[in-house]
Structure 1
Amino acid sequence: MASYKAAYLKGSAAEVQQVKLLLSDADKALGRGPYTVTSKTKLPPSGDKHDFISQAPYFWPDPSKPDGKPYINKDGLVNPESTALKDQEELGNVCKDAKALGLAYYFSGNEKYAAHAAKLLRTFFLDPATRMNPNLNYGQGVPGSSEGRSYGIIATRNLVEIPDAVALLNGSKSVDEKLVSGLKSWLKDYNTWLLTSKLGVEEGNNKNNHGTFYDVQVVDFALFTGDKALAKKTIETRTIPRISLQLAPNGSQPLELERTRPWNYTTMNLQGWVRLAVLAKKVDIDLWNYTTPDGRSLHKAVTWFQPYLLQQKQMDRQDVAPTSNYTILNLYNRASREYADLDVEKVFALNAGSARVPWAI
């Protein structure tokens, strides 16, 4: 990131263009928010508006039942009813905008971006009247069968943007020690919930992308709150064993490929792995180059995508919903710094309009 900023400050055309777009996005964020889970009209079962609530998106009324309950699973097909609950949207928005504003401050030094970021963060996480409680007891409930499920924890994977935003906002007068310590306290409490609650433990035991992003969150929040021992232990005892559970010797991801949205879920899961590799370096673990005795590795998981990105192959099954290459291209760009055999220049040339930036993984 530092070298990119240096190029921008020297007037390099490519970097100037991308930062201009970044600042435009941040300017829009200045007019949004603040966000909160407390503005909802439907309360969670606890009766506490500070508790997050969401409905499982792929569950629909059972046509064979008079009241449609319990709802039944239609994998990959989003029930519009689930979007009526806005807590997940509010959570996603505060994470996205805080990161965008942090980036704008990092590149421009303009305090207006930091001031609005601080306002968003205080409102969502710290202010007594509007803060979210650090739990996900009522995430992805299913009408007629469950008030909350472990699968709902995937909704908080974007919380990893908060430590990133705080780092980008370092040096701002708007982001004081009280705010930073408050955010650390909130994420430490949430990490404790992830590690000790029934739903958190269940999510940690999930074998697919849910397990990956559970590890991402636990490790990221542990590092942010100064618990390097927990971060290292999680990678050693949870993350490394997941390689054998998730990644085939040829680099494919069988658990994600069997879904009705195979491209979406394989790229999403790889995003989790790339984040974990970046985080693991902070505790002196090299996931980028780790290989199991039978040849499974993150390297192969990344290169598995190359013939698809080079338009030499097509997926055996198409997603039931629209797809995007945005995530995989950003991951490919980041991974190219680790793997010399990635044809990243050709990949981006075949995806016109995609830019190689260091902040999107």
Structure 2
Amino acid sequence: MSGKFDMKIINTQKVFKMIKRPFILLFFIGLTNIALAQQHFKAQATAILKAQVLKEATWAMQQKPVTVTAERSARSAGGKHDFFSEGDYWWPNPANPNGPYVTRDGETNPDNFVAHRYAMIRFSEIIGALASAYKITGDEKYIKHAVMHLKAWFVDTATLMNPNLTYAQAVKGLYIGRSWGIIDTIHLMEVAQGIMVMEKSKSFDKASLTAIKKWFAEYILWLNTSKNGIAEKNAKNNHGTTWAMQVASFAKLVDDQPMLDSLKMRYKNVFLPNQMAADGGFPLELARTKPYGYSIFNLDAMVMLCQILSTPKDNLWIYQTPDGKSIKKGLDYLYPYIADKSKWPLKPDVMFWENWPVAQPFLLFGANYYGEQKWFNTWKSLDLKPSNEEVIRNLPVRHPLIWL
């Protein structure tokens, strides 16, 4: 038997008699096999993660909201409700310690302000855990607690965050905020997805839901019209991909179909043709001082675009460019180095080399679509609950059940 999921055999003769046309028959079989594979992997993933999910949800039920208003940096040019962070790879200049910072690519400065980023990651962990537990158990208590946190971040005037990232990844002496800081809100993706899992419950009041969706709609507008948002949108590397991944998640929540359609076209006409090489690698990521980690991060983002945006009529999982580039090619390129990191042909990353890989989303969702049991087996063999701060910061999906 091959590495692919062993599909249930279909009585093709009966189907053929009903459908009559062979090409329709093959299409029908393909869709049926995909559906069977997805049921198979969803059941496996749920069985593996159930205990962890319920443990996380128990923790989340005990947490009180902590938003950007809980802590403020004196270096922020924004106000109490504005998200603020500082660029990771910027350090004091040894030749001018009190002057503008200088960059050291790939080396994180531990003294920079990251309290708002940590608060957002915590928020994402809480909503992801509660939505996952609700999906497994159907218990409304998880939704009631989640709504309290959601209102604190998006509705309550005393604690809400303004829907922009004007002051994200600032650099002392140089920038009050940069376009690259927009990457910080990848952690709102599972908040948006968690809302979609919970929104039809009787425990999710309509007034709060409307206000929350209004916040996300305003943030989508800022991401598409502000100077920093436009710059990030047009970034040629993982920053452009993760911009699109976020906007796709938020646009799906607010049912912004024109935006979703534009992102599909961007995936087809920009990301695959311009970021992927003929062999499936990402040259701009491979050129960095952390090529392994950045390649993983960008492939996760590409896969999440397929997961979020694909429809039966416009399926990004099967799309390929005229010269043969596809998400499948990207998965096939990177998977051997995930299964056995010792095969990696480049130098190790300058930092956090030993912390990657973990249970990457592209392994699970790729296995789920293509029926690759070996990808799933690798996913479940890796760290399903990473604790390293750098890994968590660059892991857009940590609660996969809400996406399946």
- Alignment TM-score, normalising by the size of structure 2: 0.80
Task: Go from structure 1 to structure 2 and tell me whether the alpha carbon gap of 1:70 and 1:280 turns closer, same or farther (over 3 Å shift).
Answer: same
Counterparts of 1:242 and 1:13, CA distance in 2: 32
> Is the 1:193–1:200 Cα contact (8 Å) retained in structure 2?
yes
Matched to 2:171, the amino acid is V
What's the CA shift for 1:208?
Answer: 0.6
Q: Which residue of 2 aligns with 1:318?
A: 348
1:71 to 75, 85, 101: 101
The answer as to 2:97 corresponding to 1:61 is: no
Counterparts of 2:45 and 2:167, CA distance in 1: 45
Counterparts of 2:400 and 2:86, CA distance in 1: 34
Q: Whose relative contact order is higher, 1 or 2, with alpha carbons under 8 Å and at least 6 apart?
A: 2
> Unaligned stretches of 5+ in structure 1?
none
Q: Which residue of 2 aligns with 1:333?
A: 364
The answer as to 2:248 corresponding to 1:219 is: yes
Task: Go from structure 1 to structure 2 and tell me whether the alpha carbon gap of 1:117 and 1:3 turns closer, same or farther (over 3 Å shift).
Answer: farther
Q: Which residue of 1 aligns with 2:286?
A: 257
Secondary structure in structure 1 of the residue aligned to 2:168: strand
> Is the 1:220–1:231 Cα contact (8 Å) retained in structure 2?
no
The answer as to 2:150 corresponding to 1:138 is: no
What's the CA shift for 1:331?
Answer: 1.5
Counterparts of 1:169 and 1:27, CA distance in 2: 17
Q: Which residue of 1 aligns with 2:145?
A: 116
Q: Which residue of 2 aligns with 1:38?
A: 69
Q: Which residue of 1 aligns with 2:325?
A: 296
The answer as to 2:261 corresponding to 1:232 is: yes
115-124 or 186-195, larger mean C-alpha shift: 115-124
- Alignment TM-score, normalising by the size of structure 1: 0.88
What's the CA shift for 1:215?
Answer: 0.9
Task: Go from structure 1 to structure 2 and tell me whether the alpha carbon gap of 1:17 and 1:244 turns closer, same or farther (over 3 Å shift).
Answer: closer
Counterparts in 2 of 1:187-206, with a 5 A limit? 187-206=216-235
> Unaligned stretches of 5+ in structure 2?
1-34, 386-398
Matched to 1:224, the amino acid is L
**Aligned residue-pair number:** 353
Counterparts in 2 of 1:71-220, with a 5 A limit? 71-82=101-112, 84-220=113-249
Task: Go from structure 1 to structure 2 and tell me whether the alpha carbon gap of 1:197 and 1:14 turns closer, same or farther (over 3 Å shift).
Answer: closer
166-175 or 53-62, larger mean C-alpha shift: 166-175
CA RMSD of aligned residues (A): 2.9
The answer as to 2:64 corresponding to 1:52 is: no
206-215 or 314-323, larger mean C-alpha shift: 314-323
Q: Once the two structures are superposed, what CA deviation does each residue of 1:197-232 show, in whole Å capped at 9, x if it has no partner? A: 000010011011110011112222222212211210
Counterparts of 2:93 and 2:318, CA distance in 1: 47
Larger Rg: 2
Task: Go from structure 1 to structure 2 and tell me whether the alpha carbon gap of 1:63 and 1:95 turns closer, same or farther (over 3 Å shift).
Answer: same
What's the CA shift for 1:248?
Answer: 0.5
Matched to 1:261, the amino acid is K
> Is the 1:59–1:79 Cα contact (8 Å) retained in structure 2?
yes
Counterparts of 1:315 and 1:122, CA distance in 2: 48
> Is the 2:286–2:295 Cα contact (8 Å) retained in structure 1?
yes
Matched to 1:116, the amino acid is H
